[in-house]
A and B are shown apart, each in its own frame.
Chain A
Amino acid sequence: MRCKQTGLIFFPAFDWAISPTHPEREERLLYTRDQIFEEGIIDLPQIAEFTPQLASIHDIARTHFCVPQVESQTTEAHLIAAGAAITLADQIVAGLIDNGFALVRPPGHHAMRVVHGNRGFCNINNEAVMVEYLRSRHGLKRVAIIDTDVHHGDGTQDIFWHDPDVLFISFHQDGRTLYPGTGFIYELGGPCAYARTINIPLPPGTTDDSLLYIVDNLILPVLEEFRPDFIVNSAGQDNHYTDPLGSMRITAQGYARLTEKLRPDLAVLEGGYAIETALPYVNMAIILALAGLDYSNVREPDFWPGRFKETSQRTEQLKRLVDGLLKHWKNRDTTLTGRGKTVNGYYEREKLIFYDTDYIEEHQTEKLRICSNCTGYLSIESEVSHGFGQAGKVLCLSVPFGACSKCRNEAADLYTGAKKSVVYNYIYLQDKSSDYLLGYDTKAGKEWRP
């Protein structure tokens, strides 16, 4: 029998850019392609290259509420990037490949549940779309997403905030020093999913050693206890010491060791904008590490061993941070608080969301039904006040996987009732438990099924 391989989808979208000079442009994966092709690693028996399918509109609408419709927030490039993650995930779940790496653009981890435009270079959350696909189509129960991008994966966090079956762990440069300004240790998930969101903010200048300390002492023990069916790595490469946006000091070797320890089923490329000095080397190192190949000879031209050293003071700080987070994790089933209030069995919180690329300000009121039989349905009232996004209010109703009939019915009733109201421009029902999706345009009086 043939040994199992690492699946690779390389989709550099050489004809897609946010704008000609934007960091997220055609050139971004060009040198990565050159490096990977020249090394000939696609020819190695341990690597299998795949061609991406397009994600369907339904796949996107299962995860996101795109305003007004999925088609208006996505281009084909988005469907291909999300579709690439799905293509590899299908292969992995079917046992045809060992693991995979979707080396794709555009990225996705800043895209939240409700989408009015582009945030942090993202419209569609590739990993979240893929995870919800796997749960819906293949019945996967527990998924872990480890976000190793230098920016906080606030979009992914938002989508799985109330979901106890999806563990989201993100380490990133401290939000006080970098976009999007979130991802603090006290952000620990909703009332029914406490400590299923874990954030590890790191000071600028963090090195390989510290990162691997976190993996060994926090991420791996937590994964061990969570026992996920599937591990996703949101593989941002902007922790690299040459990245123009981040200020960390991670090397290609550091990324390889990180990958080797995490052993993700599927890695999906996120950010990383040192397109010449980092990406060719980091991508190469990650591919080799996933495939179990020797990566010791991969190094940046200006790197020498021992170039970056951690101070003992920083190491101490890090230890305290890890210990504190582990305590939250230990108490995950006995803690039922979230930041927000619970009134009459509904947990409520307000959110302000800014879309940096499209200059949109969004205000959300999020309401979760606290239910003893399921994780409760969620209703989101979203209003956009500025910018180029469509003005006005929308109502989004999301029913989780495994919802009880009471929650399903209540959400469906709310949807039907709202269709008669004049408050909302659009109303959406997203029932993940039955994979039933609806959208309604109140002005036109038109309903559709994405």
Chain B
Amino acid sequence: MYIGVDVGGTYTDAVLLEKNQIKASAKAPSGKNLLSSILEAIDKVLQGVDPGRLKRIVFSTTMITNLIAERKYDPVALLLIPGPGLSYTYYQFNTFTRILTGTIDYRGRETVSLKEREVEAALDEIADQGFKKVCVIGKFSPRNTSHEKRLAMLVKEKYPDWEVELGHLAGGQLNFPRRVVTTYLTAATRESFHHFLNLVRQSLAERQITAEALILKADGGTLPMENSDKIPVETIFSGPAASTLGALALTSPGETAVIADIGGTTTDLALILNGQPLLSAKGARIEGQLTQVRTLAVKSVPIGGDSVLERMGNEIIIHGKRMGPAYCMGGPVPTPTDALRVLGLTTLGDQNRAAEAMAILGERNGSRVIAEKILNLVVDGISSQINKMFQEWELEPAYRVWEILQKRKVRPSTVVGVGGGANGLVDRIAEKLGCRSIIPPYAAVANAVGAAVAKTTLQLSLRADTERGSYLLQEEGFEGKIDSKQFNEKQALDILRERLIRMAARHGLDVKPEQLEVTHQEVFNMVRDWQTKGRLIDITVQTPRGITGRIEAGGQEG
């Protein structure tokens, strides 16, 4: 038996799964006391069930996302080692920042060394400002970690009680500004996330749940709780990941589908390409800040069931905001939900008030006419964004001949609707796109379903530079020596497979070498004066992605 718990801003949802069937689901308001909300939701689905039968319990949360949105995180100072390149005036990280001397180049060679006296002065300034958390981030640090590690040592020597976050561990991809933001948010939210994990542990302990507990990440994978406090930012956006996985669990394998999570003010779109959720080519954007957090490609469209409608001349416009519930449910202004009510596409709210809402928009006699117009507006708005999302995916830059040639026109065959506004809208959207539509019976708790079926995924990347005689394991921050100039992809893959399987075992994951998937592989011969001087090898390997199983129809809605 699995439990999925989605701790959202307004509700905490839970589902209980047994053999790919939903046995129970529950909703509890997320009040001030998170512990009691979590307990309430778990208690409801566990009614009459022996906790000992639980195998795993997975949590997803938007807590960190909300913390960041409300800027309720801890003060963090930044120590940057950018070297030459983009002018520092473009680095606006809105916190105390000191730039230090030192340069690592693209091959990971040190071209300018650190100046320790300068470091000391910077630390004193940071101490004067009262910071206790500091991030150390260097340009090209994933290619050579020595500057960051050395700086961390200097900090620890002088201020042993400070927390130090290292750039190459938080953001191992090539993108310095994103690495800074990712490291910064990691440091800033660590304590709050820790607190959340403790609440979860406490609630599990109180109900004597000993099942494996996991946390959902933004890319749709999960991590065991004891390892997840290292990477709080990876749990942001796990909300959309949860709903995407939840919907994926309800579609057939290998399908290309769109998942439209239609809420009150926004519609979140995600793509399933041939049965796999599409990952965003770059990292997540969090409150306008670009990060390296691996995330599912999610597009948020500012149209939802409670969007404010207004008449401007002969046109009706949709505002990207909410002023309360729909007019038919006692709200202040007309909304798309009112139009759905007039057309009989939903049974929510009061029929007369819905007609009144249409009248406010200027159509006294034919409220159905205007309701139809509104429906078209909403459907057009959402379906054009779906098409755009596919186009954007096709237009994602590619750097090899074969990649450009292989991109074919792919369009969805199914639209899966989840979220409160899905009823009445998804059929029309699907029709417009020439697809079939599905509204899963558990749409209201799809997030919790997604959390329940999410698989643990781990990845490990290796970069070897045979001329420099070294390799780096990015996720572990481990640097190894290469003795032979003949070091090749096969040896690199052997190292990766062995270490990833060991890493997986530490995470309680039983993976066979043949199940590991190579997600990135790049090999370049370095030629100088017409002679091969060495090889650059970049390989990433990951454990299988996706979901533990598909939900069979026929369960009961709770």
- Which residues of chain B in 266-310 are interfacial with respect to chain A, using CB atoms and an 8 Å cutoff? 282, 290
**Are A77 and B175 in contact (CB-based, < 8 A)?**
no
Whether a CB of chain B sits under 8 angstroms from the CB of A142 is no
Q: A51–B404 Cα gap in the complex (Å)?
A: 8
Q: A301–B90 Cα gap in the complex (Å)?
A: 21
Q: A15-B401, A295-B87, A297-B86 are in contact. Are A39 and B107 (CB under 8 A)?
A: no
**Are A38 and B290 in contact (CB-based, < 8 A)?**
no
Interface centre among B89, B404, B525 (most CB of A within 10 A): B404
Whether a CB of chain A sits under 8 angstroms from the CB of B478 is no
B396's nearest neighbour on chain A, judged by CB, is A51
Kindly state the interface size class of chain B when it binds its partner: 35 or more
A25's nearest neighbour on chain B, judged by CB, is B527
**Are A294 and B87 in contact (CB-based, < 8 A)?**
yes
Residues of A within 8 A of B404 (CB): 11, 51-52, 54, 76, 80
- Which residues of chain B in 239-257 are interfacial with respect to chain A, using CB atoms and an 8 Å cutoff? none
**Are A38 and B139 in contact (CB-based, < 8 A)?**
yes
A83's nearest neighbour on chain B, judged by CB, is B404
* Size of interface on A: residues with Cβ below 8 Å to B: 47
Q: Per-residue CB proximity of B518-550 to A under 8 Å, as 1/0?
A: 000010111101111000100000000000000
**Are B106 and A31 in contact (CB-based, < 8 A)?**
yes
**Are B88 and A297 in contact (CB-based, < 8 A)?**
yes
A34's nearest neighbour on chain B, judged by CB, is B106
- Which residues of chain B in 182-226 are interfacial with respect to chain A, using CB atoms and an 8 Å cutoff? none
**How many residue pairs between the two chains, A and B, have CB atoms under 8 Å in the bound complex?**
113
**Are B401 and A39 in contact (CB-based, < 8 A)?**
no
**One of A41-49, A311-319, A419-427 at the interface:** A41-49
**Are B86 and A301 in contact (CB-based, < 8 A)?**
no
**Are A37 and B530 in contact (CB-based, < 8 A)?**
no
A299's nearest neighbour on chain B, judged by CB, is B84
Per a CB cutoff under 8 Å, which of B85, B105, B290, B527 touches A297?
B85
**Are B174 and A26 in contact (CB-based, < 8 A)?**
no
Q: A35-B106, A276-B107, A299-B84 are in contact. Are A40 and B177 (CB under 8 A)?
A: yes
Q: A12–B399 Cα gap in the complex (Å)?
A: 6
Per a CB cutoff under 8 Å, which of A12, A21, A51, A77 touches B395?
A51
Residues of B within 8 A of A301 (CB): 84, 103, 105, 111-112
Whether a CB of chain B sits under 8 angstroms from the CB of A441 is no
Whether a CB of chain B sits under 8 angstroms from the CB of A13 is yes
**Are A40 and B176 in contact (CB-based, < 8 A)?**
yes
Per a CB cutoff under 8 Å, which of B85, B86, B107, B399 touches A14?
B399
Residues of B within 8 A of A54 (CB): 404
Chain B nearest CB from A63 CB (Å) reads 21
- Which residues of chain A in 252-301 are interfacial with respect to chain B, using CB atoms and an 8 Å cutoff? 276, 280, 284, 288, 293-299, 301
Chain B nearest CB from A6 CB (Å) reads 14
Residues of B within 8 A of A297 (CB): 84-88
Q: A77–B398 Cα gap in the complex (Å)?
A: 12
Whether a CB of chain A sits under 8 angstroms from the CB of B405 is yes
**Are B400 and A14 in contact (CB-based, < 8 A)?**
yes
Q: A161–B147 Cα gap in the complex (Å)?
A: 55
Q: A280-B106, A297-B86 are in contact. Are A43 and B398 (CB under 8 A)?
A: no
**Are B401 and A33 in contact (CB-based, < 8 A)?**
no
**Are B89 and A27 in contact (CB-based, < 8 A)?**
no
Q: Which 5 A-B pairs have the closest CB atoms?
A: A294-B87, A34-B106, A40-B177, A37-B174, A301-B111
